[in-house]
Chains A and B, each alone.
Chain A
Amino acid sequence: MTADREFVARDTAAHPQALTPIYKTSVFRAPHRPLLSLQNSLSEVTGPAFGQHEIGPLDNDLVRNYARAGGAPVGERIIVHGRVLDGSARPVPGVLVEFWQANAAGRYRHRNDNFDAPIDPNFGGCGRCLTDAEGRYAFRTVKPGPYPYRNRVNDWRPAHIHFSVFGSGFAQRLITQMYFEGDPLIRHDSILQTVPDPAARERLVALLDLNASVPLHTLAYRWDIVLRGARSTLFENRLQGN
């Protein structure tokens, strides 16, 4: 192989299994056959890069990026920030972080969402940024509302923000959801329960961060994201007799 590092195997216990009947849609969308384990090749250790020129100046400010002139979305203004780290606790700089969410009433701006809570004319619900040299990301938004969905008869999603993160290699690609400290819906949520390990579920919960709040203006939550780690392939060439 012409790259000198590869990703460590995913810890499957940290992730949901594919088949999680408590989340009903997974039942017909889960492969029945085991995944085929693949040692990393160049196709997995490489991945796309994105440039600052592709990101608009308001892309990380959901309070302003869809607001009409003079308007602002209704809801609890918050800052969400944190770092993207790898499995060796090193910051991951310059990677694309994208996020999307419902508005303060729990309504998504999406043609397929027919929940009868109102659309907010000043709120789109999506944003993105690149991590800085220390792996930090930050955005401003309004706290999303809970949202009912068809699973069990009375299932409600806790307030949550969806995240999509790129690392340096395509095999690090991750989509997940962030929840809010203290939300009583968390312990009832079918989708969060797909993560088997309670300690792993805790890692999806953002903590209130008064230190990062703006007094008299905006509260803040902090949430760090960890991508899978890499290891050096120190002796592979010699062992393979190349």
Chain B
Amino acid sequence: MIPQDILGNLPETPSQTAGPYVHIGLIPKQAGFDIFETNIGDVLVGPATQGERIRIEGRIFDGTGALVRDALVEIWQADAHGRFNHPADRQPGPRDETFRGWGRTGTDFETGLWAFETIKPGRVAGRSGHKPMAPHVSLWIVARGINLGLATRLYFGDEAAANAEDPVLRIIEQPARRETLIAPRSLRDGQPVYTLDIRLQGEGETVFFDV
């Protein structure tokens, strides 16, 4: 059905916007109804999860500074040992088998806030010949008006030494733009909170990656 090229390769299916009602399919409770026995993706940590419990949160702003209140945010991260729960991760050392490392949420329809209860990831090996990456969380954002999901990363404000040698942050030429990926740490009711606001367009625009 889909024409192959001369080497037998298939072209990728084109992306389309997730639209304003993405919640129906991916987080039906936020759309306003309950349908599935198991709601996939709303919890990253369990009682057995290893590592420091943290909250990461932020808001998303459009090019006029208005809140984006209908976005879906997914995260993907390593465990506290810096290992991914995936067979392609063949780094040596222990792995937290109880930690999937993935979550999804919607920005709140009123406040525009997104948030995850997770653990602080460890450092992960970089590409060959490069330093290990600083602890980070990969974010993927879709919404009405976004034609192809936007990929970015959250780095941790209290990891200055690791951030300074991170091979990904270092390829961002402008130092000021690196700061758009670094979430400062604060304490709320004794729990560490890292806050990263995302600006889709204009002044302070977040760095997005073509991965």
Which chain A residues have a beta carbon within 8 Å of chain B's beta carbons?
A: 1-5, 7, 9-12, 14-18, 20, 23, 25-33, 35-50, 54-56, 59, 65-66, 85-89, 96, 98-100, 108-113, 124-126, 128, 162, 164, 168-171, 173-177, 191-192, 194-195, 200-201, 203-204, 207, 222, 224-229, 236-237, 240-242
Tell me which residues from 178 to 211 in chain B have a Cβ below 8 Å from any Cβ of chain A.
200-202, 205-211
Q: Check B14 against A200 for contact (C-beta < 8 Å).
A: yes
Report Cα–Cα, A30/B68, bound state, in Å.
Answer: 12
Q: Check B168 against A38 for contact (C-beta < 8 Å).
A: yes
Q: Check A42 against B64 for contact (C-beta < 8 Å).
A: no
Tell me which residues from 132 to 161 in chain B have a Cβ below 8 Å from any Cβ of chain A.
133, 136, 138, 140, 142-151, 153
Report Cα–Cα, A96/B143, bound state, in Å.
Answer: 20
Chain B interface residue count, CB cutoff 8 Å, equals 86
Given contact pairs A54-B38, A227-B12, a sample of 6 additional A-B residue pairs in the complex whose CB atoms are under 8 Å apart: A17-B147, A30-B200, A38-B171, A49-B85, A109-B24, A125-B25
Which of the 9-residue segments B15-23, B51-59, B112-120 touches chain A? Answer: B15-23
Most buried by A among B33, B148, B206: B148
Please, which residues of chain A bring their CB within 8 A of the CB of B206? 31
Given the contacts A43-B76, A174-B13, A16 and B172 also touching, CB distance less than 8 Å = no
Report Cα–Cα, A110/B33, bound state, in Å.
Answer: 8
Given the contacts A28-B62, A87-B10, A194 and B147 also touching, CB distance less than 8 Å = yes
Please, which residues of chain A bring their CB within 8 A of the CB of B85? 46, 48-49
Please, which residues of chain B bring their CB within 8 A of the CB of A176? 13-16
Report Cα–Cα, A164/B126, bound state, in Å.
Answer: 29
Please, which residues of chain B bring their CB within 8 A of the CB of A169? 86, 88
| A99 CB, min distance to chain B CBs, angstroms | 6
Q: Check A15 against B147 for contact (C-beta < 8 Å).
A: yes
Report Cα–Cα, A37/B210, bound state, in Å.
Answer: 5
12 residue pairs A–B, Cβ–Cβ below 8 Å: A1-B128, A10-B210, A23-B17, A30-B147, A41-B167, A55-B38, A59-B36, A125-B25, A128-B40, A164-B18, A176-B13, A229-B12
Q: Is B176 an interface residue (CB 8 A)?
A: no
Q: Check B209 against A88 for contact (C-beta < 8 Å).
A: no
Tell me which residues from 1 to 59 in chain B have a Cβ below 8 Å from any Cβ of chain A.
1-2, 4, 8-26, 28, 31-33, 35-38, 40
Q: Check B31 against A111 for contact (C-beta < 8 Å).
A: yes
Report Cα–Cα, A110/B35, bound state, in Å.
Answer: 13
Report Cα–Cα, A124/B23, bound state, in Å.
Answer: 12
Please, which residues of chain B bring their CB within 8 A of the CB of A173? 74, 140, 149
Please, which residue of chain B has its CB at the minimum distance from the CB of A20? B147
Q: Is B124 an interface residue (CB 8 A)?
A: yes
Q: Check A100 against B10 for contact (C-beta < 8 Å).
A: no
Please, which residues of chain B bring their CB within 8 A of the CB of A174? 12-13, 15, 149
Q: Check A112 against B20 for contact (C-beta < 8 Å).
A: yes
Q: Is B98 an interface residue (CB 8 A)?
A: no
Q: Check B89 against A66 for contact (C-beta < 8 Å).
A: no
Given the contacts A2-B90, A10-B12, A226-B12, A44 and B17 also touching, CB distance less than 8 Å = no
Given the contacts A1-B125, A28-B201, A89 and B9 also touching, CB distance less than 8 Å = yes
